Amino acid sequence: MKVPFYQVDAFADSLFSGNPAAVCLLEAWPGTNRLQRIAAENNLSETAFVMPGKRGKWAIRWFTPKMEVDLCGHATLAAAHVLYEERGEHTEELIFTSRSGELKVSPLEGGVLGMDFPRVATRNATVSPLLLEGLGGYPSEVRAGVDCLCIFDTEEIVRELQPDFRLLARLPFRGIIATAPANSRKVDFVSRFFAPSAGIDEDPVTGSSHCILAPYWSRRLGKDRMEARQISVRGGRIVCEIRGDRVWLEGTAVTYLRGEAEIG
């Protein structure tokens, strides 16, 4: 069976930046094992599988090369970009149903898409020897939740981290976030994201991590709307805004590939 297939650079202003995501448009769900095998074949940090749902909504699932995840920002941005720019959707708001509840995406000016995501809580945590050895740096603060949030004093420290991914994969978290205040006055904070246990040593740009980062930096900086940069090799820009118990994320995307996938 052939299905429409796209590869999109998300949180990117131009090709070859941001985070590549695959988007497969389905009419019915194959088995989970088949979806996982497709994601492994794509070998991108995330593949989004999208199918029409009830009452005009869209069902979405996300897979890394190794596992299904509960929430993914850049692949949701890529899926919305495909529906609006490639498939001719004209609605003022797309609603995706997912493991993390309903996620809403709206087109803004200049090709920007705004995404309404859940706010993710963290708690104070101790610094473990395994975390220190795996990161290769000593954070000034550590917070734990679905991901481990590690706060450093400067952007330079975050940029220069050379993690031992084998060690980080042993930690009981989906991923490890390293973050610090930004050097530039135009950017509020920077981050990197490591998820070797999910098959992603370093994710280029991670929307879902900003559901943790935005609340932290909002409290620390005393502002609700912030500009963030993920300082991976490819890099990407995310605008974050706290809206009650939700986090609003803004970004752009660019289509790299259009075709069909043979999914059997």
Over residues 48-63, the pLDDT tens digits come to 999 999 999 999 999 9
CA distances from 232 to 58, 62, 219 (A): 31, 21, 25
Q: Please say if 250 is a catalytic residue.
A: no
pTM above 0.95, yes or no: yes
Using the predicted structure, report yes or no on whether residue 33 has a pLDDT greater than 90.
yes
β-sheet bridge partners, residue 131: none
264 pLDDT band, cuts 50/70/90, is confident
Q: What is the DSSP letter of 82?
A: I
249 confidence band (pLDDT: 50, 70, 90) = very high
Task: Look at residue 179 and tell me whether its pLDDT is greater than 90.
Answer: yes
Q: Mean pLDDT, to the nearest integer, of 234-258?
A: 98
Q: Of residues 27, 41, 46, 86, which has the active-site annotation?
A: 46
User: Which percentage of the chain shows pLDDT scores above 90?
Assistant: 99
The CATH number of the domain covering residues in 2-116+251-262 = 3.10.310.10
Is residue 27 over pLDDT 90? yes
Q: Where are the beta strands (DSSP E) in the chain?
A: 2-10, 19-25, 46-52, 58-63, 68-69, 94-98, 101-107, 113-118, 123-124, 141-144, 148-151, 176-181, 189-195, 200-203, 225-230, 236-243, 246-251, 253-262
Binned at pLDDT 50, 70 and 90, residue 126 comes out as very high
Q: Could you tell me the fold of the domain covering 123-243?
A: Diaminopimelate Epimerase; Chain A, domain 1 (3.10.310)
Domains 2-116+251-262 and 123-243 agree in fold: yes
What is the pLDDT, as a whole number, of residue 245?
Answer: 96
Q: What is the DSSP letter of 209?
A: T
Ranges of each domain in the chain: 2-116+251-262, 123-243
> 184-233, pLDDT tens digit by residue?
999 999 999 999 999 999 999 999 999 999 999 999 999 999 999 999 99
